[in-house]
A = this chain, B = another copy of it.
Amino acid sequence: MVQLFKEGRGSAHAFMNWQSKEQLDLEYILNVPATVIDNHTVEVAGERFQADNLVLGTGAETVFPNIPGTDLHGVYDFVSLIEELDFEPQRCVIIGGSKVAIEYGSFFQAAGCPTTIAARKPLMRTASLHHVDEDLRQYVVDGMRKRGMQILEGVEPVAIKGDGNGNAKEVILRNMQDGSEESLACDFVFIGTGERPKSEHYREVLGVAVGEKGEILVDKHMRTSVPNVYAIGDLIGPPMEMFKARKGGMTAARNIMGEPYEFDWTDYPDFLHSTYEITWVGLSEEEARQRYDNVVVIQMPPKGVPHEDIPLPCAEGTMLYAFMYPELTGFQKAVVEGNSRRLLGFHHVGFGAKDAFQYLDYLMRRPEGITIDEMGNMNELFLNPEHFIQLCRLRAGSPNLRDL
């Protein structure tokens, strides 16, 4: 499995490289560190390159907790895991509760390695997940537990201990409420405590302005404080998501080519992979109720109906869940402003709905937005995991909207 993962990951990256070179006519140099000399000069593998503009995109790195044992064999973060994992782990403890912790932890568990997540705060209550309602959050965390994961909240790491050969063998945790300690045996420790932009080199050499967490400060054109220097991706801070990195690169390129293109990433559709695929865009129900008086909710299962009673439409390959484990088939919610009849938010827990959220984001964000009546007018494709069109149609046209 380890070997397969390494090779497979390489092939996907190799194709993106092929695409950039053959289809976009880019030139690039891979797998060597670059040194910035000034805002027009970069040195790579002993060669100096002159350029009118620089675009910095070197990302972020894991913030390791300041505890003993993080240098033991068997302790990885998302970077070293790919490069250095050299055994099939039997038991995993994840320190931290970040998105990376949830995504990798769910993958380890699904791949047959029993996994514990040990986090200070309740999972999914971090700032970047403020659009996720408590009922959806609970459903997702319950789902992880139902698949056998152990989730410990309100604990902090004290130490990672090794055996005589320098291999990690246990994690010591402290209960933040009563101070008691416990030990979890494991052969694999994954650090998921969040990332910090790798901006030191640019601060030292170029003097670019950074924020309090080391993120390079940029405007909506992706310009840094230094003329002719742009920065993109995780290097400019949260959200540390692929969409921002990619669209930021396009924004920098367009500005360099003379087009005053602006990119606003303050609100965006987002997702999280756990044992489910969780996707959302726009306001949560709770956020909507704080801002509007007349909020209507369309959801499956409806409020008060247990998940066990409602097998939702499933994606390809997960249909048997609907038959055997209806409680695992998902949870979805659309939030409507009842007076304007406009959709304020869409939320989905399940499988296979992610793509749709890109277009829901566009429709909701355009000036005229999208109403429940326009949703009901669309042509749906049955059976689909995200069946907002069908659900909206059950209320579309009604003069007085009420919850579904």
Residues of A in contact with B (beta carbons under 8 Å apart): 4-5, 7-9, 11-12, 15, 19, 23-24, 241-243, 246-247, 250, 254, 259, 268-271, 273, 277, 279, 302, 309-311, 315-318, 320, 322-324, 326, 351-363, 376, 378-386, 389-390, 393-394, 397, 404
Query: Which residues in B have their C-beta under 8 angstroms from that of A356?
Result: 355-356, 358-359
Least CB distance from A229 to B in Å reads 22
Sample of 11 A–B contacts (CB below 8 Å): A4-B320, A4-B324, A8-B323, A243-B382, A254-B397, A315-B316, A316-B352, A317-B351, A356-B356, A358-B379, A358-B381
Q: Which residues of B contact A259 (CB under 8 A)?
A: 397
Q: How far is the CB of A150 from chain B (nearest CB, A)?
A: 23
- Whether B404 contacts A269 by the Cβ 8 Å rule is no
Closest residue of chain B to A313, judged by CB?
A: B12
Binding site secondary structure of chain A: helix
Give the docked Cα–Cα distance between A9 and B314 (Å). Answer: 13
Determine how many copies of this chain the complex contains: 2
Contact of B397 with A384 in the complex, beta carbons under 8 Å = no
The answer on a CB contact under 8 Å between B381 and A355 is yes
Contacts of A384 in B (CB 8 A): 354-355, 358
How far, in angstroms, from A386 to B358 measured CA to CA in the complex?
Answer: 10
Given that A243-B381, A268-B379, A379-B269 are contacting pairs, would A11 and B311 also be in contact in the complex, using a CB cutoff of 8 Å? yes
Bound Cα distance from A393 to B243, whole angstroms: 12
Residues of B within 8 A of A353 (CB): 355
Q: Is the CB of A324 within 8 A of B8?
A: yes
In the complex, chain B residues whose CB is within 8 Å of the CB of A317: 317-318, 351
- If A269-B379, A271-B381 touch, whether A12 touches B394 (CB-CB below 8 Å) is no
Alpha-carbon gap, A386 to B356, bound state (A): 9
Closest to A350 in B: B316
Cross-chain contact B359 with A393 (CB below 8 angstroms): no
A145 smallest CB distance to B (angstroms): 19
In the bound complex, residues from chain B placing their C-beta under 8 Å from that of A379 are 243, 247, 268-269, 358, 361-362
Across the interface, which residues of B come within 8 angstroms of A4, CB to CB? 320, 323-324
